[in-house]
Amino acid sequence: MELENCQSVDDFMSGLVKRNPGEPEFHQAVREFAESVVPFVLEHPQYQEAQILERMTEPDRIVIFRVTWEDDQNRIRANRAWRVQFNNSIGPYKGGMRFHTNVTQSVLKFLGFEQTFKNSLTGLPMGGAKGGSNFNPKGKSNNEVMRFCQSLMTELHRHIGEDTDVPAGDIGVGAREISYLFGQYKRLENRFVGTLTGKGLAFGGSLVRTEATGYGCVYFCEDMFNHVGESIRGKTVGISGSGNVAIYAAEKSVELGAKVLTLSDSSGFIHDPDGIDAEKIAFVKDLKEVRRGRINEYAEKFKSASFHEGKRPWSVPVDVAMPCATQNEVSGDEARTLLANGVKAVCEGANMPTELEGVHAFVKAGILYAPAKAANAGGVAVSGLEQSQNALRLSWSREEVDERLKTIMREIHAQCVTYGSKAKSEIVNYVDGANIAGFVKVAEAMLAYGAV
């Protein structure tokens, strides 16, 4: 059903589900967005007349291709890869690449859709995209990962470019993978340009990019607390994941005086009532970034900690929860458990980590709840700063990049307050705030272009 005839989110969603069968993650991301934006669009006829919402939920294009590579036993292997170029209304496409066995077109469409509005919130000129493959990097040798990345880039390079589409990392794509991808891109193109971000510092990477998503998430959390006259200092924090986002969210939380109690991976979570301090975080960095080990080793090393196999950390009472692993890792029941245990703030480092039922519970409870679009935008923001430095052929200092990151997170917070609360005294609805603020900028650009 077209939006001009539709009276509700359900009407809009039934059309979207029909047009995109079998894509539950994409449906979920659009529904969460539509619950904020449909009422706003119904009040603004210019968006309805131009069918903005229908156009915005249709990716500009999706490239799907086979990646053939050879493993260490000389067997030929084949994976599927995608690049979902969702919307380039406000700048070249920008978004990470994910390597994980559960990558599907639905997952990448949800990520590309959310990326469009997250990038809009940063205030930088970046469109939205996402890509990846069902390749599983776990247990593969460096040479296997290199051959896979080179083969993937052999096709991908013709669809990307510094003014077209600029990929970065995500789950399963860290410094090692970006280096292999960029090395092959440079070889095929015979040009040294900033077409990937998250690069090594020796070849065009930006200081603070590695830390940016985790740090930015904590800066946003602190902005929310400051807005209600409080601080993260002295609070207990529960974090899931132990990858790039989780590690640096833990590091910045500790730096700002909070006590981090949990970390996890897909095998279970560790609970350390003594707190995961800087020294213990250094152990996790080595475990995960260098040795590529499992989180249970933490409990073997530090006797204050316990390991809970196959479980998620949300039963541990904390003041602040930061889901930093993957989508749908906080169920409706787990959200209610967090609330019953007195959680004051939930700040999403991962993309769409909370099921819709949980989102509704957090908003209804009136806690400080920062959705991923706002809370984890620091990563792509510093990727945008990496692009600027590459274009200028300059490198900014750590302090300069960190200061810009803080400013960007503060400005995203301010936009959420503007669009997420009607009166100064009102509790800010950060979900509405982030969705509507992200929407308006993209929608205005689309209106200006006419029917394209």
Are the CB atoms for 262 and 239 separated by under 8 Å?
Answer: yes
CA separation for the pair 230, 219 (Å, rounded): 13
Residue type, 54: E
Are the CB atoms for 207 and 395 separated by under 8 Å?
Answer: yes
Q: Which range in 147-155, 199-207, 265-273, 441-449 contacts ligand NDP by CB under 6 A?
A: 265-273
Question: How many residues would you count in the chain?
Answer: 452
Among 172, 205, 238, 371, binds ligand NDP (CB under 6 A): 172
Nearer to ligand NDP, 3 or 194 (CB): 194
Number of residues that bind ligand NDP (CB under 6 A): 23
The nearest distance, CB 381 to ligand NDP, in angstroms, is 10
Are the CB atoms for 357 and 337 separated by under 8 Å?
Answer: no
Adjacency order of strands within the sheet including 345-347: 306-309, 268-271, 259-265, 236-239, 320-322, 345-347, 368-370
90 binds ligand NDP (CB under 6 A): no
36 binds ligand NDP (CB under 6 A): no
Q: Which of 130, 199, 252, 280 is flagged as catalytic? A: 130
169 binds ligand NDP (CB under 6 A): yes
Site string for ligand NDP, 184-213 (x = CB under 6 A): -----------------------------x
CA separation for the pair 374, 415 (Å, rounded): 10
134 binds ligand NDP (CB under 6 A): no
296 binds ligand NDP (CB under 6 A): no
3-state secondary structure of 238: strand
Among 68, 266, 315, 337, binds ligand NDP (CB under 6 A): 266
Which residues within the stretch 364-393 sit at the binding site for ligand NDP (CB under 6 A)?
376, 379
Q: Which residues, 6+ apart, have CB-to-CB distance to 130 below 8 Å?
A: 83, 84, 86, 95, 96, 97, 98, 108, 109, 111, 112, 115, 170
Site string for ligand NDP, 319-348 (x = CB under 6 A): -----xxx----------------------
The contacts found for 394-399 with CB under 8 angstroms, 24 or more apart, are 395/206, 395/207, 396/206, 396/207, 397/207, 398/207, 398/208
170 binds ligand NDP (CB under 6 A): yes
Site string for ligand NDP, 410-449 (x = CB under 6 A): ----------------------------------------
171 binds ligand NDP (CB under 6 A): yes
Residue keyed to tokens 């980590």: 353
Which residues within the stretch 224-263 sit at the binding site for ligand NDP (CB under 6 A)?
241-246
Helix and strand numbers, DSSP H then E, in the chain: 17, 12
Nearer to ligand NDP, 194 or 241 (CB): 241
In the bound complex, which residue of the shown chain has the CB atom lying closest to ligand NDP?
243
Q: Is 18 a catalytic residue?
A: no
Helix H or strand E encompassing 333: helix 332-340
Residue keyed to tokens 């205005």: 444
Are the CB atoms for 113 and 28 separated by under 8 Å?
Answer: no
Nearer to ligand NDP, 52 or 281 (CB): 281
Site string for ligand NDP, 148-167 (x = CB under 6 A): --------------------
Are the CB atoms for 52 and 443 separated by under 8 Å?
Answer: yes
Q: Which positions lie near ligand NDP, rule CB under 6 A? A: 169-172, 174, 213, 241-246, 265-267, 324-326, 349-351, 376, 379
- Catalytic (active-site) positions: 130
